[in-house]
Structure 1
């Protein structure tokens, strides 16, 4: 509690930029872990992307293993069984009409299901490919819009730092999906786009404060760009943490309570992307985007001159040390 109060009052100055090697090492490990998951396991694409047959029916007395075993005995390879409210949703490979009819008859016989309440949906692989293409196009347009906006509102180096942080967030979130085996559905893509917007919002708040603070730096400044940026980051720290906490709590409730205790399986595709993305997005805004921006800015002649001038004075040793750290 004491630490929280001191953070809130601004009594603690965290040297985020000075610890950039620590953050880069941590991000590197997370990226390696995520890429390994994508290469080893790959993404568990839903039927909307790879095509297949989806059965939906009521069977109150059944459990997941019973439903899975029943479908396997009917010749289905690796059926994906999910409980959606009071109904079972079973996703299979694309099945011929004769086998679909056979499965419907077996469900009616085994679980006393009403034939009129057994829904069957055939999804073609070509339609799934079209959805995937549109998702990539949407992601590309979003990234381009971010670059243009940040370049006009701030500067190209801030846009570059923000894009690196966004890609960092996407890869780690996708890696978590690969390791967890969660199904990737259109809802997952919506979650990915949402976390991109959230991560961008956090970065814009930080960059706006950095822009305001560093605009005052001149030839007689007593701070390097590194110090000024770190001070700006500390001023927005509590705002970022509070915003993240308020946003993460309801998402965590959906993920851990809604899907685990209440069995709302259809929500986990969206909630996992949001939960992981918000956590990683907050981290990247503070510990990836800002240190990277400082590294780029400290290479400019103007800020190098400030660092050299401060290094030549007795009181500027700390400033010069931070500047040298940022450039390394």
Structure 2
């Protein structure tokens, strides 16, 4: 039997250290919000030839110097240019694209998406509401199916997953766009499922191991479900990593999923159950 609960302070310290770094970075620099939230225009230009990114940047600098980001995508075959909101008018963007097409004869405009700043603000507020609503529903469900302390422990673990994922994005300045919200909701759903498996085993063992301590019950339950949790997560991660590597167009979705699902597995084992034990022991001390 693994001694997970006995090292609760260690698990909490590791998580707290990572969260503090991430939240500190977010407080100082903020998240690197993409055009879905800040507004702007995203252009994808198929180059269809060998090209130097700096040559394209020189053209864009004429129109929106310091107001854009550019990167090569699709293994260097295309270039994606993201111009900040209100930096260029529609006519100026069309002129800029035409100049790129003139210099690079075989290039063509693959896609052009414009998002207003007001739309981005509305998306942010709706995303926050969706996260709060999902969290409340999960708390109610777990509280009814198990007990309220299980619900509190599960929500703390979910908050842990979200904060660490946000922290990683803040530290590494990864752009945050609409697919990130879908990924966070998916991470929450996956993590809660993994946590419930352990909680269900704890509930069963409470009936079987009546003379055992809370720590023994939690450790036994975690040990019994550990192989299942790790194998499931590895299977999912292998699939998502394959998608990330082979399907560049949906990396904005697969990238946070890789981070969040790995963190969710950790929190289900090392955070959720130890938190439940802490809450249980605290109640015993209060009623003693």
1:90 corresponding residue in structure 2: 81
1:120 corresponding residue in structure 2: 112
Once residues 210 and 250 of structure 1 are traced to their aligned partners in structure 2, the CA distance between those partners, rounded to angstroms, is 30
2:203 corresponding residue in structure 1: 211
Once residues 279 and 81 of structure 1 are traced to their aligned partners in structure 2, the CA distance between those partners, rounded to angstroms, is 30
1:109 corresponding residue in structure 2: 102
Once residues 166 and 299 of structure 1 are traced to their aligned partners in structure 2, the CA distance between those partners, rounded to angstroms, is 21
Once residues 44 and 107 of structure 1 are traced to their aligned partners in structure 2, the CA distance between those partners, rounded to angstroms, is 27
Moved more, 88-97 or 161-170: 88-97
1:325 corresponding residue in structure 2: none
1:6 corresponding residue in structure 2: none
Given that 1:107 and 1:113 are in contact with CA atoms closer than 8 Å, whether structure 2 keeps it comes out as no
Q: Which has the higher contact order (CA 8 A, sep 6+)?
A: 2
Given that 1:48 and 1:123 are in contact with CA atoms closer than 8 Å, whether structure 2 keeps it comes out as yes
2:150 corresponding residue in structure 1: 158
Matched, 1:242 2:255: no
Q: Which runs of 4+ in 1 moved over 4 A?
A: 302-305
Deviation string for 1:178-210 (max 9, x for gaps)?
122221111111111111111101100000000
Matched, 1:289 2:282: no
1:138 corresponding residue in structure 2: 130
Mark the CA change 1:89 to 1:237 in structure 2 (over 3 Å): closer, same or farther: same
Moved more, 82-91 or 229-238: 82-91
Once residues 89 and 25 of structure 2 are traced to their aligned partners in structure 1, the CA distance between those partners, rounded to angstroms, is 33
Given that 2:153 and 2:273 are in contact with CA atoms closer than 8 Å, whether structure 1 keeps it comes out as yes
Once residues 57 and 105 of structure 1 are traced to their aligned partners in structure 2, the CA distance between those partners, rounded to angstroms, is 11
Given that 1:187 and 1:269 are in contact with CA atoms closer than 8 Å, whether structure 2 keeps it comes out as yes
Structure number with larger C-alpha Rg: 1
Mark the CA change 1:64 to 1:194 in structure 2 (over 3 Å): closer, same or farther: farther
1:36 corresponding residue in structure 2: 24
Q: How far apart are residue 228 of structure 1 and its match?
A: 1.2
Once residues 196 and 291 of structure 1 are traced to their aligned partners in structure 2, the CA distance between those partners, rounded to angstroms, is 19
Once residues 101 and 178 of structure 1 are traced to their aligned partners in structure 2, the CA distance between those partners, rounded to angstroms, is 33
Given that 1:169 and 1:277 are in contact with CA atoms closer than 8 Å, whether structure 2 keeps it comes out as yes
Structure 2: give runs of 5+ residues left out of the alignment: none
TM-score normalised to structure 2 length = 0.91
Matched residue count:
283
Q: CA RMSD in A?
A: 2.1
Mark the CA change 1:63 to 1:199 in structure 2 (over 3 Å): closer, same or farther: farther
TM-score normalised to structure 1 length = 0.80
Mark the CA change 1:285 to 1:250 in structure 2 (over 3 Å): closer, same or farther: same
1:318 corresponding residue in structure 2: none
1:272 corresponding residue in structure 2: 255
2:44 match: secondary structure: strand
Once residues 256 and 34 of structure 2 are traced to their aligned partners in structure 1, the CA distance between those partners, rounded to angstroms, is 15
Moved more, 286-295 or 124-133: 124-133
1:228 corresponding residue in structure 2: 217
Once residues 215 and 144 of structure 2 are traced to their aligned partners in structure 1, the CA distance between those partners, rounded to angstroms, is 23
